[in-house]
Each structure stands twice: as structure tokens, then as C-alpha cells.
Structure 1
């Protein structure tokens, strides 16, 4: 790991020369790859505090607004998967200390969407967070066994109906999930329907508690 880090550092000047670092939102020159320019950085809005109830808490890195939306679109639909480093660092800054053993679980994609997109953006974020916090990543702990249509334009109740029963715990990991503390990772939390479906599946599998970590969260004051 240390050798790999030193190699990246030694090659950084060459990479910067061939591919000058640019802000992933506006294209302005920045000091290093994976950073935002001052103007775009100032466009991010950070939540005042986390929220949640019972044994489920939420840590959102940013409020979903035009700036965070552009980052999400580039990461999720624009093939800019290298943005996982930037987005996960912002998420890590909002996460509390997770004492003891935790499993890091990404929100799953249906296999059809995974084949189309080529990667699960939530899994990339989960991988970065698990590595940084020294926690165990279980990338296939949840399974989206039924394809669901795009939730865009649907209200909260309609989203919940679409996702009802669509996500289940992977039978191969039931023993591992029973009694476990779970960090559930997603890129954007809109109405909460997807994460609620995931939380229900995890609780049915016997998880002790679930903490949700997302990059951006839609909030009433941000709409």
C-alpha cells in the first residue's frame, strides 16, 4: 500500500503535465486532480447536522442543490467514476466515529442497470469509505431482485410503492448481517424510499442498527 502511494506521488507531476487538473464542474484549472475550484466549492451547501430516528441515523455530506447535482450527474451518468475519491472524502468528513465492528453496504443496482452503466456508483463510494475507516465492505449484502423504473417525477408515496419488496438481503450473507452494525452508502437520498427499502431488508435480516451515509440529500429548504 505504501509503495503504491509513493508511486502515485512520484508520477503525479507527469500526470498533471499531460492532463492538467480541472474542476470537474466548470473546467477551471485547479491545484490538483480531484478538487473543486473556489467558485464551485462555494456552491456546495453543507447540512447543519445529521438526522434520523431510532436505530437509523443519516449523515449527508451536502444538501442536494445545483452544484452537488452536477457532481452527481457527472459521477453517476457521465462515467466520471474517478469522482468517487472527492465525493467519499466529503462524506467521510460528515461521518461520526463508528466504534466497533461495522459492515459497509452499498445500495444495490439491478443487474440490468449495472450492465448498462458499467458500475454501481454507491459501491464505489462504499469501497472508498470502507478503506478509509478500516471497515469491512460487503458489496453484495443487498440484492435488487426486481428491476424498477426511474423514480424521477414520482412523489414519496409512489416511490415507496415502486420499491416495495424490490430489495432483499442476500441469502449468502444472512449470518453475517444478523446482529451487525451497518453503514448503508448511497450517492443521493431524495425521498428516502430506496434507503428505507434497504433498511427494511437489513432489519429483516437481523441487523442491529443502520447508519445511512450519502453524498447529497434533498431537503425541504433546498427544494
Structure 2
């Protein structure tokens, strides 16, 4: 009886919410991307820098950092990965999720992230989303990274701290600035939530955000966590601005 009801509900759902490609709206049997659009996505794969996630042109060995990361003494991230290149196609997906309440993308992104962090899963103790300032949260109505963190936590079976970091400074959109401006814009933008200070001290934390450009946002958050006694900082984002 339950199976019959379930099948009827699925048919009703498909009638009002048909399964279509997230990019081109072509009809599909299952939610996701059609074959043509899937091939448009430029996935970032190894070999890549372990600390910033930029791909290498050739294999330099496991757990290797690029020259820029080695030289940057004010870089606080230990490991970083992004799933895909940020371009016109991934921008459409992310902006839909970020600004237009397209929550059906949550599971899609979370599963891709889970595949990317499997090698970290046994080492990470908590996942923490990049927070929004309270005014921006009020204006948008939700924090997309918080929603995504909750789903990734469920799939990866890693505890999450929804409010592990707090946004203490209003920041302008990073797209308005060059590299130096982005860094300055994010200075002192975060602080630790002291209600969780003892939980994260000596632990490994995974920070989750949607897009990485210069890495200023993630690095600012990583510094706060390291100052609070976090042992290792891992980062995962949906997409990253790179040239390849």
C-alpha cells in the first residue's frame, strides 16, 4: 500500500516539478545535468596544489604545494579543493543557488563535494560554513553555504557547526575588488563563536564556501580558526576562478 502511495506521489511531483537539466532545461529521467551540459563543466582534478587547489600542468607528486603557497607566510589554509572551474556555466548554477532559492541544487553540489573530500573524511572533525553578515542574511533570507554544509555533513557523516564562525564586519562583494582589495575587504571580517571554542581547539576543521577567487575569504576565516587553536584547516568550494 505504501509503495502504491509513494508511486502516486512521485507521479504528481513529476507532473508539477518535471525533471529537467539544471543548465539547459532539457527533460531528464533523473535530476541533474544532461550529457551535453555535463560535458561543459570543467572539473578540477589532480594533480593540484594541496593548499590552494590550483591545478598543476604535470604531476609533481602527492601533497605538494605550489610556489606561491610556499612563499606566502600569511597563508593559513592547510588543504583546499574546488570541484569545478568558475565560468559561465558554473556561474549560472551557483547564482541560481545563491540568489534565486534553487535549493534543489543542494544535493547535487553536496554529492560532488563528498566525492572530492573522501580522502579527508577520517581526518576532519567539523564542517563550518562561511557565515553571512546579519544584515545580508536578513536581506537574502538564507545562507546557501549553511544549507549546503548541513547536507554535506549528513552525507559525509561529519559533524557540522552551523555558527562556528561569526561575521562581525559588513563586507562589500569581493567581485568589486582586485586581489589586494579583496584581502583588505576581508580583514577582521570573522571571529570565532566562543560557544564552540573548546570543541574546535586541537581539531581539524573543514570550511565550506561557494566560490574561491583569490582565496581571501577562506584565508581570513582560516586565520581566525588557527588563532583559536584549530589544528588543521581544510577548505572546499563548489568552484574556483582559474585559467586552464
Q: Is the 8 A contact 1:61 1:93 kept in 2?
A: no
- Determine the structure 2 residue equivalent to 1:23: 21
Q: Which of 130, 137, 142 is equivalent to 2:160?
A: 137
Which secondary structure state, in structure 1, belongs to the residue aligned with residue 205 of structure 2? strand
- How far off its partner does 1:56 sit? 1.1
Alignment of 1:27-46 (within 5 A): 27-33=25-31, 35-46=32-43
- In structure 2, runs of 5+ residues without a counterpart are 52-64, 66-75
| Structure 1 segments of 4+ aligned residues over 3 angstroms from their partners | 7-11
Alignment of 1:121-200 (within 5 A): 121-200=144-223
Q: Distance in 1 between matches of 2:17 and 2:188?
A: 45
Which secondary structure state, in structure 1, belongs to the residue aligned with residue 104 of structure 2? helix
CA RMSD, aligned part only? Answer: 2.1
- How far off its partner does 1:192 sit? 0.3
- Determine the structure 1 residue equivalent to 2:235: 212
The structure where helix makes up a greater share of residues is 1
Q: Distance in 2 between matches of 1:105 and 1:8?
A: 35
- How far off its partner does 1:102 sit? 1.1
TM-score relative to the length of structure 1: 0.90
Deviates more, 1:191-200 or 1:86-95: 86-95
Q: Bigger radius of gyration, 1 or 2?
A: 2
- How far off its partner does 1:27 sit? 1.3
Aligned residue pair count: 216
Aligned pair 1:111/2:109, yes or no? no
- How far off its partner does 1:65 sit? 1.4
TM-score relative to the length of structure 2: 0.83
Q: Distance in 2 between matches of 1:124 and 1:8?
A: 26
Instruction: Classify 1:10/1:145 alpha carbon distance in 2 versus 1 (closer, same or farther; 3 Å).
Output: farther
Deviates more, 1:185-194 or 1:45-54: 45-54
Q: Distance in 2 between matches of 1:107 and 1:136?
A: 15
Q: Distance in 2 between matches of 1:8 and 1:75?
A: 28
- In structure 1, runs of 5+ residues without a counterpart are none
Aligned pair 1:13/2:11, yes or no? yes
Q: Which of 89, 111, 115 is equivalent to 2:111?
A: 89
Aligned pair 1:75/2:72, yes or no? no
